[in-house]
Chains A and B, each alone.
Chain A
Amino acid sequence: MRRRASRREFLVAAGGAAAGIGLGSVIAVAPARATPEAMREAIRKVVGSARIGTGRVKLELPPLSENGNTVPLAVSVESPMTAADHVKAIHVFTEKNPQPEVVSFRLGPRAGRASVATRIRLADTQTVVAIGEMSDGSFWSASASVVVTLAACLEEA
């Protein structure tokens, strides 16, 4: 009993010392994933200084995804899709993937309907943002949160 107690005491003391050292030198390593700030920056790069309205864009994602390696995504934008008024592009961004950009679809009046679908990877439970770029220069957005059980990008090959 005496031996065990002293061993525990030693471990507690050693742990405390290690924690002290850790606190003293906070490791400054760039995160291996994008952050919500990185996503906002990536969005700004596409949008510029324009204001982003909410609405008109419909983003469909499952609320819960068992496998982050392939998550079905569908985006549609309300638009008459005429030469004068159409959707020029649909951009998709994520908050916590290693890179915020996911995909940019370029459409035009010949698309007939602003509706696209694909399958994406999600590295974590996070919010996905879709932005519709209109021919009049306005931007509209929609977001959806997905709970991911098995994350993409992390497993070893």
Chain B
Amino acid sequence: MANALVNVPARARRGDVIEIKTLVSHPMETGYRRSQLGVSIPRDIIRLFVCTYNGTEVFRAELHPAIAANPFIVFSTVATESGTIAFHWTGDNGFTATESAAILVE
């Protein structure tokens, strides 16, 4: 299981724009590299990252091989209500990772 790290403020005021940082461990093998024996290494990357706020999608990123290993994504969202912000990564070879964080909006 992949390790994912997310940084979401624990509490925020209603209407505040909060910054969210996410990091997931993944080699992001480009598919353009060769091993020392000259054999092409097949591509193995994360294709999609989706962030949902209480079930509603607020952000999505489509990744390509040019994203560095261990994809780090920073974005922002408006703190609308208390609840859960969930993160979901999907990729080649059936890779999936999920993480969630609780937020208290006052």
Contact = CB atoms under 8 A, between A and B. Distances in A.
Interface string B54-98: 001011111111111101111111101000000000000000000
Interface string A44-86: 0000000000000000000000000111001000000000000
Contacts of B72: 117-119
B64 A101 contact: yes
B11 to A, nearest CB: 16
Interface stretch (A16-24, A105-113, A132-140, A142-150): A105-113
Given A105-B75, A119-B68, A110 B62 contact: no
Q: Determine the main DSSP class of B at the interface with A.
A: strand
**How many B residues are at the interface, by size bracket?**
20 to 34
**How many A residues are at the interface, by size bracket?**
35 or more
A138 B34 CA distance: 41
Nearest to B80: A110
Nearest to B35: A157
19 contacts: A69-B68, A99-B65, A103-B61, A106-B60, A106-B61, A107-B59, A111-B77, A116-B61, A117-B72, A118-B68, A119-B67, A120-B66, A121-B67, A121-B68, A152-B68, A153-B33, A157-B33, A157-B35, A157-B41
Interface of B: 17-18, 30, 32-36, 41, 53, 56, 58-69, 71-78, 80
Given A105-B60, A112-B77, A119-B68, 19 more contacts: A32-B32, A69-B69, A97-B65, A97-B66, A102-B67, A106-B61, A107-B59, A108-B58, A110-B56, A110-B58, A111-B59, A112-B17, A112-B18, A117-B73, A120-B68, A121-B65, A154-B33, A156-B35, A156-B36
